[in-house]
């Protein structure tokens, strides 16, 4: 979906609908404050006329005091309500965006994790301020309009004098809104690019240090800084120019109104009190500063909402409401499945049945589609064509809970979540009990090193120094700890030593014999222990047979040979071998 300003506006409208009462009250308070501001000059003018004529004015003085008090109270209430409303809208936008990102997965992270964080944190806060600014905008506009009307009611010539210069005010506001919108959009984009590059650099900090490329990487991360600086200065220049122009134009308009008012006073058409009121109304009518401030908030919020809308536009898979058969063995089927990525066909009309309760190893060269097939098995992504079924049910027809309860994953580079090591193993909607956590860790070869940690399973995850292999074992333990009928291991034993791999293989063959196990692997020993091997080649199933039967094929054996010994290896690789 194309992300336009209108798309961002829809995000703001949807966010505003979640706080209708707050925004309505805020608009009423703002209008009440404007009404009191418009009433005060008339009351002051009338009070002054009474005092000059020597008449009693105690009631009017009290009315003026009450009006000023009302302005203070209404303004304070509006400030508090505006701040709490913005906070509530910010929380709502962030919750919605985070839920969508987690549901959509990688398609939502198009410009890097750092840029995504910028959108969910800074841009969400800027966008959340827009509904409150929009609620207060009618009152902000009512101030100048009401000031012009009040001038006309005081004396028509006063309104004519002011309106002579009003077109210049309109042009000033229009120019400010247009220029600031462009600069704010470019500024936020530059912020996102810097954040994305910085997060990438943090992830590769050890590589950067080993290559001694700090200066080059610093230059790469900060390259958008020039654009950020330029657009930031441009924003200040736009706002400064608007402020300077208003600082010249507004006093001129006030002087013009006062000059005409002085003439009308000399002619006896208005009183001294009317002239006092007119000076105040002229100030309200020329309230360009308030309008510019509100417009700046709206412009910034709309630009931020557009960036947030780009995240929300990422497609998220829809789930059905069906459940799996209670006695299903975990049979996995792929029927005519094709996947195209970046214009390249990764899987091409794959037909495959993984019998329930079996252990199937998926092998093939890098790029053959192994990880994509593993992702399809548990619907971490959907095929571009064809159907994936579990126990006869198409995966899209299953409810989210049914699907996630049925399928467990372990990855080559697992990301551990939770406060403690035990939490990381038992992580899920229903955390595994301590005994299941320990058993799963034992099956994954992790229990020994976990018990050596200072707090055992209660050790804070951030305080537990883990190697790549130990992290992988904890990822395996997390998958083992969750019940279900399908276990998918996407190259999840690649960092294990030979002894630990044998231990895990035994656990897979004995402790999980009732579950269907789908393993992608580069290791011949892992393939040899599986019931069936599926050999992927160029996105197609080249063969599906036991490892022993396939081993007679030299091309199959070459899959597990060192890179230098493969017949299709580049000349420079064979030369090094």
From 246, 281, 312, the end of a domain falls on 312
Same domain flag for 445 and 298: no
pTM, to two decimals: 0.71
**Whole-angstrom distance, CA of residue 129 vs CA of residue 23:** 11
Whether residue 112 is predicted with pLDDT greater than 70 in this model: the reply is yes
Max CA distance (Å), the chain: 118
Would 224 be classed as within a structural domain?
Answer: yes
Q: Residues 336-365: pLDDT tens digits?
A: 999 988 788 889 999 999 999 899 999 998
Same domain flag for 287 and 341: no
**Whole-angstrom distance, CA of residue 512 vs CA of residue 529:** 14
Would 282 be classed as within a structural domain?
Answer: yes
Q: Say if CB 515 and CB 485 are below 8 A apart.
A: yes
How sure is the predictor about 562, in pLDDT bands with cuts at 50, 70 and 90?
A: low
Block residue for tokens 């700090």: 214
Q: Residues 283-294: pLDDT tens digits?
A: 888 776 677 667
Same domain flag for 272 and 149: yes
From 278, 312, 346, the end of a domain falls on 312
**Whole-angstrom distance, CA of residue 26 vs CA of residue 299:** 20
Q: Residues 360-398: pLDDT tens digits?
A: 999 998 888 899 999 999 988 889 999 999 999 999 999
Would 324 be classed as within a structural domain?
Answer: no
From 262, 280, 312, the end of a domain falls on 312
Return the minimum-mean-pLDDT range out of 212-216, 267-271, 533-537, 554-558. Answer: 212-216
Q: Residues 469-488: pLDDT tens digits?
A: 888 889 888 988 888 899 99
Q: Which 3-state string (H, E, C) describes 424-454?
A: HHCCCCCCCCHHHHHHHHHHCCCHHHHHCCC
Taking each helix axis from N to C end, the angle separating 124-154 and 272-285, rounded to the nearest 10 degrees, works out to: 150
Q: Could you tell me the CATH number of the domain that includes residue 137?
A: 1.20.1560.10
Nearest to 193 by CA among 172, 224, 167: 224
Block residue for tokens 């996407």: 490
**Whole-angstrom distance, CA of residue 414 vs CA of residue 221:** 27
pLDDT attached to residue 137: 86
Q: Residues 542-557: pLDDT tens digits?
A: 999 999 999 999 999 9
Same domain flag for 432 and 527: yes
Q: Following DSSP, what letter does each residue of 111-171 receive, concatenated?
A: S-HHHHHHIIIIIHHHHHHHHHHHHHHHHHHHHHHHHHHHHHHH-HHHHHHHHTTHHHHHH
Q: Could you tell me the CATH number of the domain that includes residue 500?
A: 3.40.50.300
Same domain flag for 382 and 276: no
**CB-hemisphere CA count at 13 Å for 172?**
24
- For residues 149-176, give the mean pLDDT: 82
On average, the pLDDT of the chain sits at 85
Which of the two residues, 287 and 90, has the higher pLDDT score? Answer: 90
The number of distinct structural domains making up the chain is 2
pLDDT attached to residue 501: 78
> 465, exposed or middle or buried, with CB in 10 Å at 0-12, 13-18, 19+?
exposed
Would 96 be classed as within a structural domain?
Answer: yes
pLDDT attached to residue 465: 82
Would 280 be classed as within a structural domain?
Answer: yes
Q: Domain range spanning residue 383?
A: 332-576
């Amino acid at each position: 979906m194309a992300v336009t300003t209108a798309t961002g506006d829809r995000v703001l409208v949807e966010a505003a609908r979640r706080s209708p009462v707050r925004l309505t009250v805020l608009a009423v308070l703002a209008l009440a404050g404007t009404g009191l501001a418009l009433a005060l000059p008339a009351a002051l003018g009338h009070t002054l006329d009474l005092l000059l004529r020597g008449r009693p004015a105690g009631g009017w003085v009290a009315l003026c005091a009450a009006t000023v008090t009302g302005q203070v109270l209404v303004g304070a209430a509006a400030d508090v309500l505006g701040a709490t409303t913005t906070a509530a809208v910010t929380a709502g936008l962030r919750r919605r965006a985070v839920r969508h990102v987690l549901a959509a997965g990688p398609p939502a992270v198009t410009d890097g994790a750092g840029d995504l964080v910028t959108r969910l944190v800074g841009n969400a806060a800027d966008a959340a301020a827009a509904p409150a600014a929009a609620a207060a905008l009618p009152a902000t506009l009512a101030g100048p309009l009401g000031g012009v009307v009040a001038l006309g009611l005081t004396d028509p010539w006063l309104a004519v004098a002011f309106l002579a210069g009003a077109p210049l005010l309109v042009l000033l506001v229009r120019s400010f809104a247009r220029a600031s919108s462009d600069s704010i959009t470019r500024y936020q984009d530059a912020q996102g690019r810097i954040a994305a590059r910085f997060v990438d650099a943090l992830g590769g900090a050890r590589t950067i240090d080993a290559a001694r490329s700090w200066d080059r990487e610093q230059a790469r991360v900060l390259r958008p800084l020039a654009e950020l600086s330029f657009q930031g200065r441009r924003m200040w220049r736009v706002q400064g120019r608007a402020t300077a122009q208003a600082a010249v134009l507004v006093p001129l308009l006030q002087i013009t109104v006062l000059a005409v008012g002085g003439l009308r006073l000399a002619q006896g058409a208005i009183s001294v009190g009317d002239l006092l009121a007119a000076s105040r109304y002229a100030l309200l009518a020329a309230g360009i500063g308030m309008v510019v401030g509100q417009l700046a908030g709206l412009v910034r919020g709309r630009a931020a909402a557009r960036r947030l809308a780009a995240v929300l536009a990422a497609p998220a898979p829809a789930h059905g409401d069906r459940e799996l058969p209670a006695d299903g063995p975990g049979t996995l089927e792929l029927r005519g499945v094709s996947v195209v990525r970046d214009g390249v066909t990764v899987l091409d009309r794959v037909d495959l049945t993984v019998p329930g309760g079996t252990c199937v190893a998926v092998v093939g060269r890098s790029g053959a589609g192994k990880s994509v097939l593993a992702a399809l098995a548990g619907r971490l992504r959907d095929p571009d064509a064809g159907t994936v079924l579990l126990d006869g049910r198409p995966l899209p027809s299953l409810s989210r809970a049914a699907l996630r309860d049925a399928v467990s994953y372990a990855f080559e580079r697992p990301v551990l979540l939770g406060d403690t090591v035990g939490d990381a193993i038992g992580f899920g909607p229903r955390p595994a009990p301590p005994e299941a956590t320990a058993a799963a860790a034992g099956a994954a070869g992790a229990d020994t090193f976990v018990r050596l940690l200072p707090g055992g399973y209660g050790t804070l995850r951030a305080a537990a120094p883990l190697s790549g292999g130990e992290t992988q074992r904890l990822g395996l333990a997390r998958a083992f700890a969750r019940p279900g009928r399908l276990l998918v291991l996407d190259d999840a034993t690649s960092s294990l030593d030979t002894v630990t791999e044998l231990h895990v293989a035994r656990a897979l063959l004995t402790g999980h014999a009732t579950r269907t196990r789908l393993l992608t692997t580069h290791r011949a020993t892992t393939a040899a222990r599986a019931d069936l091997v599926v050999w992927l080649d160029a996105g197609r199933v080249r063969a599906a047979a036991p490892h022993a039967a396939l081993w007679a094929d030299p091309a199959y054996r070459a899959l597990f040979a060192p890179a230098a010994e493969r017949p299709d290896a580049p000349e420079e690789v064979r030369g090094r071998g």
